[in-house]
Structures are given as structure tokens and as C-alpha cells.
Amino acid sequence: MNFKGKHFLKLLDFTPEEIQALIDLAADLKAKKKAGEAVDVLRGKNIAVIFEKTSTRTRCSFEVAAHDLGMGVTYLDPAGSQIGKKESIADTARVLGRMFDGIEYRGFGQELVEELARYAGVPVWNGLTNEFHPTQILADFLTLQEKFGNLQGLKFVYMGDARYNMGNSLMVGCAKMGMHFVGCAPEKYQPDSQLVKKCQEIANETRAVIEFEEDPMAATKDADAIYTDVWVSMGEPDAVWEERIHDLLPYRVTMKLMENAKKDAVFMHCLPAFHDLNTKIGKEIHEKFGLDCMEVTDEVFESGHSVVFDEAENRMHTIKAVMAATLGANL
């Protein structure tokens, strides 16, 4: 399967077979890493990573993966580039595309990474936008494949605010891979109706199931995986916390919900998670609202059900696969 020269902007752009091929390549690269086998076949190439939103996992994954492949990395943060301020996206893309072999972008609107790709002339990879987070889903699906052996038919429940990049991308991914996706949230927190319609059309081809349920116990019954994310996304004002807590507290992932799922069900989270009081924001929320956790209890987060750190590690392996494939690495 030939990915050379392709962008990686959203999972909607890829077939189920292509997504599976990237997951399988990531599994192979992970095995090579564990065995100490070098894969630095892209020596002499260089990539730029643009971060208009802060990151731990995504930045570290791109940088470590690039170094493992033998590439140089230049990091550009909002203060370190003129993108969108003194220089347009199109102009920035054409400058960077003359110097680098690939460009990662993590920022705001999906239209920005799409425009970057349109003008760059080299592969562009989406490290997260408001609408989609495709590299996270590859990591999540590699994790599920490691735990269950396959993806087809798994019941996957997303709890909480499903309107943004994680809810959108997981729904698309589940539709593509023939899974049973359940979005468990109040109606106003469910994904855009046009995207839901698109996913339903995909599901008709892949035998996936796409549904929404407001009752957490009904949603999580016999689930294979229960997934959640923070209730306030990056870039949103602090003022929305009170509304989100009021609306989404019934959708917190608790041990009661995990026990309602299958015995071997896994708990998933893209991180960071507010599961205790060991963060500045966690302490502030506790002082304002009296909560010692938010979207997931510490009991679940630290339990044997939790695979959150497997997901975090798999970000690097799946991002390595995306870069290797789109840059034409001979592995």
C-alpha cells in the first residue's frame, strides 16, 4: 500500500484497509523498538512541527519518532513563527515546504491544516485541530488491537462532550473500522449532524453501528471500551466550567460504569485527565466546586481496566508509522 506523498489530515480521507495498514505498520515499528532494532532509514530528512496549542504527548511523539527514523526536527511555537500573524498560512506553507520534507501542525480550525497541506508541496500531518485528532485515534486503535486482537465489532462507548475533535474522530474511526460506537452525552453535546450522517453512510458499508444514548448505564452495558476526555477543550474560556460540570457530572466514568461493561473492558483517555487533585486546575476546580475528580474517578484511572499509558506510548509508534509511510521509508 503506497502512502508516499500523502497528507494525514483526518481519517475520513482513508479507507479501512489503509487505516489498518498504518496500525499494523505501527505494531511492527513498536516491536522493532522493543527489540532494539534501528529504523533510521530517513537520515538526511528534516521535519517542522508547528504547535499553536501546547502539547506533551503529541510533541514528544513526533520528535522521538522523527529521531528514531533518523530525521532532524525543528519546533515552532506561536512565539517562534509568524504563521497567521505576519505571514499567511499559504505563504508559510510554501516557505517551509522548500526547507522541510514534512510538516506537522497542531492548532485551531481544520481549515488551517487543510490550507497548509494545499500549499506545502510536502506531506502535512494533523497533530490536532478543533475538529479532528487522527493520530490519537490510530494510537487508541493500536491499543485496542493489542488488548482484543481485532477491532471489528467491538463496542466502544464515548462518555461526555462528543462535539469536538475526540468525539468526532473516534466516531469516524469506529465507522471506518466496523465497530459499534455509542456516544453517551446529553443531546446538546453530541456531534454535528452532518458528520453523524456521513458516519452512518460509512457504517452501512463497513457493518459498523453508530448510535447515541443519554443514559450512561444503558450505553455502557456490555461495552468493550469506555472512553472519555476532559470536559473543557483547549482554547475555551474558564467560564464554561460551571455549565460543563452541571451537564456532564452524570457522565463521569466510575467503577459502577466499568462493572456494567464486559469483565475485560478497558478504560481509555487521551490525557491529560482530571482524576485527582495533583494539578493546578484540579485544585482550582476542587476549591470552586468541591470535586476531587472530574471526567473519571481516580479509582478507575488507576485500576486494572485502565490502558491510558499504553495509549500514550502508542502515540509515538503510530505517529512514526504515519511519517514513515508518507515519506516513503523503506522498512
Range of the domain at 124: 11-132+313-326
59 catalytic residue (yes or no): no
Active site residue 270: yes
User: Do 102 and 245 lie in a common domain?
Assistant: no
28 pLDDT higher than 90 = yes
Considering the candidates 59, 244, 315, 317, report the single residue annotated as catalytic: 315
Q: Which of 79-93, 113-127, 250-264 has the lowest mean pLDDT?
A: 79-93
What percent of the chain is modeled with pLDDT above 90? 91
Whether 67 sits among the annotated catalytic residues: the reply is no
Q: What is the strand order of the sheet 225-228 is part of? A: 209-213, 180-184, 155-159, 225-228, 266-269
Q: What is the CATH number of the domain that holds 268?
A: 3.40.50.1370
Q: Which three cell numbers stand for residue 14?
A: 482513508
Q: Quick one: 212 and 321 in the same domain?
A: no
Pair (182, 107) in one structural domain: no
Instruction: Tell me what pLDDT residue 79 has.
Output: 78
Active site residue 192: no
Query: Which residue is catalytic, options 101, 161, 224, 229?
Result: 229
- Judged by phi (left if over 0) then psi (alpha if -120 to 50, else beta), residue 42 lies in alpha
State the average pLDDT for the chain: 96
Report how far residue 311's alpha carbon sits from residue 301's, in angstroms, rounded to the nearest whole number.
13
| Residue 58: closest CA among 172, 134, 146, 167 | 134
Same domain membership, residue 39 and residue 70: yes
DSSP assignment, residue 83?
Answer: B
The residues, any chain, with a CB within 8 Å of residue 249's CB and separated by 6 or more, are none
Confidence of residue 238 (pLDDT cuts 50, 70, 90): confident
Active-site choice (20, 136, 145, 190): 136
Indicate if 65 and 197 belong to the same structural domain. no
Q: What is the mean pLDDT of residues 63-70?
A: 98
Total domain count, the chain: 2
> Is 275 a residue of the active site?
no
Residue at 47 is within a domain? yes
Q: Which of 7, 57, 59, 106 is catalytic?
A: 106
Q: Are residues 303 and 321 in the same domain?
A: no
For residue 4, is it within any domain? no
Distance CA 320, CA 83 (A): 25
pLDDT of residue 85: 77
Instruction: Extract the C-alpha cell encoding 212.
Output: 447515541
Region of 10 (left: φ > 0; alpha: ψ -120 to 50; beta: rest) is beta
Structural domain contains residue 3:
no
Indicate if 298 and 154 belong to the same structural domain: yes
pTM score: 0.96
Whether residue 174 is found in the same domain as residue 71: no
Q: Catalytic: which of 57, 133, 252, 269?
A: 133
Q: Is 133 a catalytic residue?
A: yes
Query: Peptide bond preceding 134: is omega within 30 degrees of 0, i.e. cis?
Result: no
Q: Provide mean pLDDT across the span 246-268.
A: 98
Banded pLDDT at 234 (limits 50, 70, 90): low
Q: Is residue 161 part of a domain?
A: yes
124 within 8 A of 105, measured Cβ to Cβ:
yes
Considering the domain architecture, whether residues 101 and 237 belong to the same structural domain is answered as: no
- One domain for residues 142 and 197: yes
Considering the candidates 184, 199, 270, 293, report the single residue annotated as catalytic. Answer: 270
Q: Is residue 1 part of a domain?
A: no
Which of the four pLDDT bands, split at 50, 70 and 90, describes residue 86? Answer: confident
